[in-house]
């Protein structure tokens, strides 16, 4: 067997998350993995098991999701990566796109071989919602955020900690909740002429809703509702009730993934 890898982008607004799900009320739920698997099944004329670098929730977008799957030597010789790229983009919906295809090392796993993952969360502040980025950010009708205070608060979350306060409570039952945040910063950015704020989070792995809860917690600090040191007490509480609100899904983008010796990323 050989292993193929894909670099995938998608607009998550129309999907119930990345992972395939059981039918609900007799209807199949649209998922990113479901659409991708259908396209691969058409190409290879068999079911294809895919593995992603990180599952995304309903409404969350991705610009640098990585997917891996196995093929036989015969299937490998049938289609070059260039042909496979063109075919997949013809078979998948318009709100998905395969950006790159390559043959990975045998046994490569998009999930287990990932060394770090980067997410970016976008905020818009002011009386008017952004025009171009309206579907890709959280619009806050408030005064400008105190970015310095948000960055001060972010420092408490960098490093290896128990992030139980920052994950969906039900998903933490009986499971380890320690994670390592490698970098966390807040900065103003401009996209398509729109002034936004970007929360950039890099970590080895993340808990369910962890990034969105971090974003909501930092926003509370940025709005002056909490002091930066409050975030330290939230972390130590190990209780979801201690943290801020979970930020809306549409502002979150799974940005890129890092692998040892070989990366497909945006830089």
**pLDDT tens per residue, range 60-87:** 999 999 999 999 999 999 989 999 999 9
Calpha distance 102→80 (Å, rounded): 9
Residue 106 falls in the annotated catalytic set: no
Query: How do beta strands 194-203 and 2-10 pair?
Result: unpaired
Query: Using 50, 70 and 90 to split pLDDT, how confident is the model at 29?
Result: confident
Q: What is the pTM of this model?
A: 0.94
What pLDDT sits at residue 120? 98
The residue annotated as part of the active site, out of 57, 100, 106, 183, is 57
Calpha distance 210→206 (Å, rounded): 6
- Hey, do 2-112 and 115-256 end up sharing a CATH topology, with the first three levels equal? yes
Cβ atoms of residues 101 and 215 within 8 Å: no
Cβ atoms of residues 9 and 89 within 8 Å: no
* 181-210 confidence digits (pLDDT tens): 999 999 999 998 899 999 999 999 999 999
DSSP string, 153-219: HHGGGSEEEE-GGGS-GGGGTTS--EEEEEEEEEEEEEETTEEEEEEEEEES---TTHHHHHHHHHH
* 108-133 confidence digits (pLDDT tens): 999 999 999 999 999 999 888 898 99
What pLDDT sits at residue 262? 61
Mean predicted confidence (pLDDT) in 17-22: 88
Report whether pLDDT(224) > 60. yes
Q: Known binder of ligand: residue 119?
A: yes
Q: Where are the domains of the chain?
A: 2-112, 115-256
For 2-112, CATH number out of 3.30.360.10, 3.30.70.580, 3.90.1580.10, 3.40.50.1260 equals 3.30.70.580
The highest-level CATH class for domain 115-256 is alpha beta
Calpha distance 125→129 (Å, rounded): 8
């Amino acid at each position: 067997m050989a292993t193929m890898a894909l670099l995938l982008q998608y607009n998550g607004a129309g999907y119930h998350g990345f992972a395939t799900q059981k039918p609900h009320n007799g209807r199949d739920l649209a998922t990113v993995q479901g659409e991708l698997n259908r396209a691969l099944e058409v190409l290879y004329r068999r079911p294809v098991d895919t593995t992603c670098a990180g599952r995304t929730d309903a409404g969350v977008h991705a610009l640098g999701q990585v997917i891996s799957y196995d093929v036989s030597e015969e299937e490998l010789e049938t289609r070059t990566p260039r042909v496979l790229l063109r075919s997949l983009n013809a078979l998948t919906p318009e709100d998905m796109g395969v950006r790159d295809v390559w043959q990975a090392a045998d046994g490569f796993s998009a999930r287990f071989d990932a060394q770090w993952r980067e997410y970016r969360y976008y905020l818009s502040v002011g009386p008017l919602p952004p025009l171009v980025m309206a579907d890709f950010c959280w619009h806050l009708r408030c005064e400008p955020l105190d970015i310095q205070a948000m960055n001060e608060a972010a420092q408490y979350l960098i490093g290896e900690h128990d992030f139980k306060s920052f994950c969906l409570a039900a998903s933490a039952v009986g499971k380890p909740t320690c994670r390592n945040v490698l970098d966390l910063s807040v900065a103003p950015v401009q996209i398509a002429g729109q002034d936004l704020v970007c929360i950039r989070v890099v970590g080895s792995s993340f808990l369910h809703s962890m990034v969105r809860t971090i974003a909501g917690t930092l926003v509370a600090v940025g709005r002056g509702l909490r002091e930066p040191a409050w975030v330290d007490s939230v972390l130590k509480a190990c209780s979801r009730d201690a943290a801020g609100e979970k930020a809306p899904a549409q502002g979150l983008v799974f940005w890129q993934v890092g692998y040892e010796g070989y990366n497909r990323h945006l830089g």
